[in-house]
Amino acid sequence: MAQPHAVVVGAGVGGLAAAVALARTGCAVTVFEKAPVLDPVAAGLALAPNALRALDALDAGEEVRKRSAPHGIAAIRSRSGRWLLRTGPHETQVRFGDAVSVLRYADLVDVLLQRLPPGALRTGSAVTAVEPGTTRQPARVATEPGDVAADLVVLADGARSALRGELFLEHPGAVYAGFACWRAVVPWRPEDPIDFGETWGKGGTAGVLPLSGDEVYCYVTGNVPAGERAADERAEAVSRVEDWHEPLADLFAAARPEAVVRTDVWHVDTPLPAYHKGRVALVGDTAHAMTPNLAQGACQAIEDAVVLAHHASGSMAYVPTAVQSYTASRLPRTAAMVQRSAQLAEAVQNDSPVLTGLRDTAAGLVGKVAPWQLARYTRPVDDWRPPGAPRTADR
């Protein structure tokens, strides 16, 4: 009997995780990536306990933890530096079995690439069209060298996927969330103390997160038109936090100019009717791009990969049924998360002095009077476990 073949379109976190997960079920996998080389953005990534459990299912969790720095589930300040909410790594570990792991995006990509079968990744290979296939017919992807048949196709080509639009013609696609994010990995001397966490200001947020070694991950958001660019993005990032508490402006000023990456934020605000069509499954941002406010974009993509492989682990003859089960498992959870993240984005990107003051007061009261409410808010997100894992499986 021929080995089943899965084609993955896109070599970001979701695509690589899906390829690793499917290879572990016995599939031959081919990953098509249109970029000529994999050159991961120089940015950081926060992986919550739910993502670490998913990575454990791929035998990648321990390696990720080794390359990471621990962080709490939430640490939030006002622009003056006053703490509003603060949950440390130890408390997060106790509640959820793991602290949040912060690592370089490139490190996570490297961990996943190490677990990919040799020869599976094909860079410089754009997929221009997809035929979803049927119960009796395989799916097909169109590439420049020719068409490739597959028992299963996984679309992981990002928030603004053109291939998604071909499959769901009536869907409006991703929409601009109204703000951009500037990110940088910045040199830092460990002997210089820094309070890690996020700061809420007027019309944006900023954050400093720990990384292993002598660097930290910094980001700032701002309300700007889509597609707008500054002559000097480092100077633009510095200007957005120059009157906020120290050392935000100094940290961005210490970044190399070319290290500051600006990204417009897009999200799939209207849920797709399904995360599959025929023998095609959508994962990660292609299925449910969300704003970064819950820090769950990559986490949900890794969850998707594990759940998809779980449902597709039987005979490939039943892939159309398996991807239906995948949709049923993933769509309610991720659609709710997209909306929750968008609501949080609306609150933290607000530029009204009155409303931002009320927001900070409310967050401060929760932090002082009822910090347990934070755990209740995040538990449905962070307490997820892979299919078949016991509920008592906290580390």
Instruction: Specify the pLDDT at position 394.
Output: 42
Alpha helices in the chain (DSSP H): 13-24, 49-57, 61-66, 89-96, 105-114, 162-167, 233-241, 248-253, 285-288, 297-311, 319-348, 353-369, 372-382
Please report, for residues 27, 140, 204, 208, 243, the alpha-carbon distance to residue 340 in angstroms, rounded to integers and kept in the order given.
35, 35, 17, 23, 29
Q: Tell me whether residue 225 is in a domain.
A: no
Q: Tell me whether residue 372 is in a domain.
A: no
Instruction: Specify the pLDDT at position 258.
Output: 93
Q: Tell me whether residue 130 is in a domain.
A: yes
| Run of H or E residues at 44 | strand 44-47
Mean pLDDT by 10 residues, the chain (395 residues): 89 98 96 93 92 97 96 90 88 84 96 97 96 94 93 97 96 98 93 91 96 95 97 97 95 95 97 98 98 96 98 82 96 97 95 92 79 64 83 47
Q: Tell me whether residue 383 is in a domain.
A: no
Instruction: Specify the pLDDT at position 92.
Output: 79
Provide the domain count of the chain: 1
Q: Tell me whether residue 285 is in a domain.
A: yes
**CATH number of residue 333's parent domain:** 3.50.50.60
Q: Tell me whether residue 327 is in a domain.
A: yes
Q: Residue 58 is which amino acid?
A: L
Instruction: Specify the pLDDT at position 383.
Output: 81
Shortest CA distance to 345 belongs to which of 262, 265, 288, 283? Answer: 265
| CA–CA separation, 272 and 344 (whole Å) | 21
**Residue 344 sits in which domain range?**
5-72+98-174+269-348
* Cβ atoms 227, 246 nearer than 8 A: no
Q: What is the pLDDT of residues 55-83, one digit of tens each?
A: 999 999 999 999 999 998 888 999 999 99
Q: Tell me whether residue 239 is in a domain.
A: no
Q: Tell me whether residue 48 is in a domain.
A: yes
